[in-house]
Every structure is written in C-alpha cells, then in structure tokens.
Amino acid sequence: MNSKRPVNLDFRTIKLPLPAYTSIIHRISGVILFVAIAFLLYGLDLSLESESGFNSLKQLMQGFFAKLIVWGIVSALLYHLVAGIKHLLMDIGIGEEKESGILGAKITIVVSAILIIIAGIVIW
C-alpha cells in the first residue's frame, strides 16, 4: 500500500475568480518593486556622485529600453498603489461581499490601466 497520500493542487485545473488574479498581480508587483529599488538607488547614487555621473545617467535614460524599464517599474508601482488602496477600503468594510469584491477587482484593473497609460505618455 502506498502510504504517502497525494494532494490535488494542480493549478491548471483550478479556476480562480477575478479578485484572486488581482491579488496575485498585487503580490508580483510588490516583488518587482522590491527588486527595482536596488537599481533605482544605484541610479540615485550615480546622479549625486558627480556632475559627470549625473550626465551619464541622464544620457542613459534617453534610451528606448531604459524608458521601457522605467515605465515597467512605474506600472508596478501604480498597480501596487491602486490595489493597496482597495485593501485599505476593505479594511473599513467596503468591498467585502461577493459582488462588491468582483467590482472592486474590476475597478482596480481599470483604474491602474488608465494610470499606466498616462504614465507611458508622460515618460515618452
């Protein structure tokens, strides 16, 4: 007899509701921000070091890929911020029902998408 019991936890078979996806993205955007802070601090350090450091960073930031990365980091920040505000509202009892939870998730996605597009326009 097989004494080690299997566990059914195959994510391809589990259907998650929308609020679960917004929660996962919230977590992922947090990890991205955590990692990105190291690079941003390095950039800040470089810019404060000397005038030539500031100029070389400024030069670097003009590149397409640099802008793309900055946009990515800002996007993670904006999503994390919007989802975080939704969490604060839930803490005071708003959006804790089944329907309002789904509505909250939809609003989170729409608002952050709009902010991310605006951020893209500002960066370019």
Q: CA–CA separation, 86 vs 116, rounded Å?
A: 17
Sign of CA dihedral 9, 12, 13, 19: positive
For tokens 């309002």, the residue is: 100
Structure tokens, 114? 């709009």
Closest separation between CB of residue 103 and other proteins, Å?
12
- Give yes or no for residue 62 binding other proteins (CB under 8 A): no
Sign of CA dihedral 6, 8, 10, 11: negative
Reduce the DSSP state of residue 48 to 3 states and report it: helix
Please give the residues from 9 up to 48 whose contact with other proteins meets the rule CB under 8 A.
Answer: 9-10, 13-17, 19-20, 23, 27
Part of the chain binding other proteins (CB under 8 A), chosen from 38-46, 52-60, 63-71, 92-100 = 92-100
Closest separation between CB of residue 109 and other proteins, Å?
15
Q: Which of 32, 74, 84, 96 binds other proteins (CB under 8 A)?
A: 96
Residue closer to other proteins (CB basis): 6 or 62: 6
Closest separation between CB of residue 54 and other proteins, Å?
41
Residue closer to other proteins (CB basis): 31 or 48: 31
Closest separation between CB of residue 23 and other proteins, Å?
4
Chain centroid to CA 123: 17
Q: CA–CA separation, 29 vs 25, rounded Å?
A: 6
